Chain A
Amino acid sequence: MMSSQNYERQNPAFYALMAALVFMSVGPVALMFINSFKLDVDIISGTSGLLFLPTIQNYETALCDVLPYEMDHLDFCSLKFGGAFINSLIIALISTALTLIIGCMAAYALVRFRFMGRDPISLTTLMVRMVPPAVLLVPVFGLWNNEFCIDRDSLVGAFIRDTFGGRGDVCLAGTHSGIILIYVAMNLPFVIWILQSFIVQVPRSLEEAARVDGAGPFGVFFRIVLPLIKPGLAAAAIFTFRIAWNEYLLASALSDRDTKTVPILIVNNMSEFNVEWGVIMATGMLLAIPPIIFTLFASRQIITGMTAGAVKG
């Protein structure tokens, strides 16, 4: 390798420090990974280390509602993990896609155009970024359950009720779209902010050349700008997905039995008196799989995205 020759010789202490740091950041995750393959007896007896018989029983218990076969160790499938996993996937993927499309258009407008109201909009976007989800809990709970409902007596309401079932008013709360809406709104300021720093770097001359060739503003945006900010889009997508995938509080306020996401399931199981460590760790591991995959395969994009806002902007 060419590049390996560029490294200077360093004091071994630095390598020891780095190894310790890697161990500290990965250790807890590895511990959860190992424990998810242990039976509760093994976890509690505290025979720490690697001397145990690995079993996938915890994962079977967690996924009992989607696995096609019956399990010997389980009489009744109480944990509806599979369904929650699908809900999480639907909500995270759709909200990420929407946030990205809407967000990059807005970021483009804010960077490339001078227009009335640009500064107030820019400032508002920056300000709402700091609003904690907990602050949105009360209004979202109230609005999604009451105001953002279609009255059962109205034409559309009656139509939706007849088509999809249900008794009362048709509300956003308890639906996938209700959770998706708040996630998109919550992530937009962040995505707009991060993409701005990428769009600024697109050379103006390229856009002007395209415009001279007769492309309209939307043509310029989709054919010139978007392909050039792909790394930024990737980073923004990962961050948005991460929040939508991991969020607990608002999802727990808005979801009902059928739209529960995985974090809700985990918290509910943790607050029980007798924690089944093995199964919980297996569900935690399953929830952590997408983030781990992103980390391993897109770490460069994540780091660029993280530094784009703070270091360059």
Chain B
Amino acid sequence: MCASETRDVPGVDAMNAANRLTPYLFLAPAAVIMLIALLYPLGYMMYGSFLDWNPSQTIDEAEFVGFKNYIKLWNDPNFHESFWVTLKFAFVCVSVEMVIGVGLALLLDRNIRGMTFLRTMFILPMMIAPVVVGLMWRYMYHPTVGTFNQTLESLGLPTVDWLGQHALLSVIIADIWQWTPFIFILSLAALQSLPRSALEAARIDGATAWQQIWHIKIPLMMPVLIVTCLLRLIDAFKVLEVILVLTEGGPGLSTEILALRISRTATEFRELGEAAAMSNYLLILLLVLTGAMFAFTRWQEARANKLRAAAEGDE
């Protein structure tokens, strides 16, 4: 505006310097806390994973053993089991939740009374502590006094050994109960923010409901669905408390997901180095998954752009 004039005013240089510092001042507290309590611990853990380290030693007293922890885990059948249980749990949960959540959203995306109430009630499972969720489901799964088996019995059906034989399935059901609403609410919001004109045009052209869903709604929702799926997937690897309360990882290793195994290795077996190496494996797994997801999004965007460019070229 008046750059030539301001240059003559004394103190402007100091003010510019202050302006340049402003973002750093705003960031400083967050940066300090995250450095001390998040990034430094992560680095500390990476270093710790190369040590033979038990909780009574400080990190300086622990012996450096190189990749021994990693190799040991790589060849450990129990670790493999946990790894597969984690993957199975995460993928089954997320895919079932996506199908039910998106399906319900498509079905209930209409001008219907009581929708606000339904959404409010749907948030409830997500807000309640995982520990309490575990507690409720452990009661309902209880072999004799539990709700499910009592209902089955009163109907004259054989009872089910929920947390024994079918432990993984039971744990997955509890997770689906808790988190399907998350996907439902996000996809409903996405559906309601779709451009009305595209849907209107399709309706006028005589597209059936199925065609509208497959060729218009789902593709337009895709960006949101991918983000939702990614968020849910990351969260599925964080689940620990529900399983801890429901089965404590048992019977055997059937529900011992990695997060639970890390905590048991650290506290029960007192092998901090091994637990740290395991944490690193889990982080790598998460990084690969997120990376793949991002790459997929990029690829899809690029393809959409190319299609759009081609369509415009035709005109």
Residues of A within 8 A of B (CB): 4, 6-8, 10, 14-15, 17-18, 21-22, 24-26, 28-29, 31-32, 35, 43-44, 46, 48, 101-103, 105-106, 108-110, 112-113, 115, 118, 121, 124-125, 128-143, 146-147, 181-182, 184-186, 188-189, 192, 217, 221, 242, 245-246, 248-249, 253, 263, 266-267, 270-271, 277, 280-281, 284, 287-288, 291-292, 294-296, 299, 302-303, 306-307, 309-311, 313
Contacts and interface: CB of A to CB of B under 8 A. Distances in A.
Contacts of A246: 128-131, 241
A248 B131 contact: yes
Given A43-B145, A181-B37, A306-B185, A263 B241 contact: yes
Contacts of A284: 129, 131-132, 135-136
B107 A28 contact: no
Given A128-B39, A248-B131, A141 B272 contact: yes
30 contacts: A8-B110, A14-B107, A14-B108, A14-B110, A29-B124, A102-B33, A113-B26, A130-B286, A131-B283, A131-B286, A134-B238, A134-B282, A138-B266, A138-B279, A142-B44, A147-B44, A181-B37, A185-B34, A217-B22, A242-B127, A249-B241, A266-B132, A284-B129, A284-B135, A287-B132, A292-B127, A302-B123, A306-B182, A309-B231, A311-B224
Taking each of A32, A43, A296, which has the highest tally of chain B beta carbons within 10 Å of its own beta carbon? A32
B127 A32 contact: no
From DSSP, what is the main secondary structure of chain A's interface residues?
Answer: helix
Given A8-B112, A18-B114, 13 more contacts: A6-B111, A21-B118, A22-B121, A28-B136, A32-B139, A124-B34, A133-B240, A137-B279, A181-B33, A185-B36, A245-B129, A267-B241, A311-B190
Given A263-B129, A284-B136, A26 B121 contact: yes
Contact of B45 (A26, A138, A245, A253): A138
Interface of B: 19-20, 22-24, 26-27, 29-31, 33-34, 36-42, 44-45, 48, 55, 58-59, 104, 107-108, 110-125, 127-140, 144-145, 147, 150, 177, 181-182, 185-186, 189-190, 193, 224, 227-228, 231, 234, 237-238, 240-241, 244-245, 248, 258-260, 262-263, 266-267, 272, 275-276, 279, 282-283, 286, 290
A306 B133 CA distance: 20
B23 A137 contact: no
Contact of B30 (A115, A140, A147, A192): A192
Contacts of B130: 246, 248
Query: Would you list the 7 A-B pairs with minimal beta carbon distance, nearest first?
Result: A185-B37, A106-B30, A139-B41, A134-B259, A109-B26, A246-B129, A113-B23
Nearest to B55: A141
Contacts of A118: 23
B202 to A, nearest CB: 19
Contact of B193 (A115, A221, A311): A311
A169 B6 CA distance: 56
Contacts of B189: 303, 307, 311
Taking each of B24, B59, B123, which has the highest tally of chain A beta carbons within 10 Å of its own beta carbon? B123
Contact of A133 (B36, B129, B145, B238): B238
Nearest to A270: B245
Contact of B140 (A17, A28, A105, A309): A28
A142 B48 contact: yes
Contacts of A192: 30
Contact of A267 (B45, B182, B193, B244): B244
A307 B123 CA distance: 13
B30 A138 contact: no
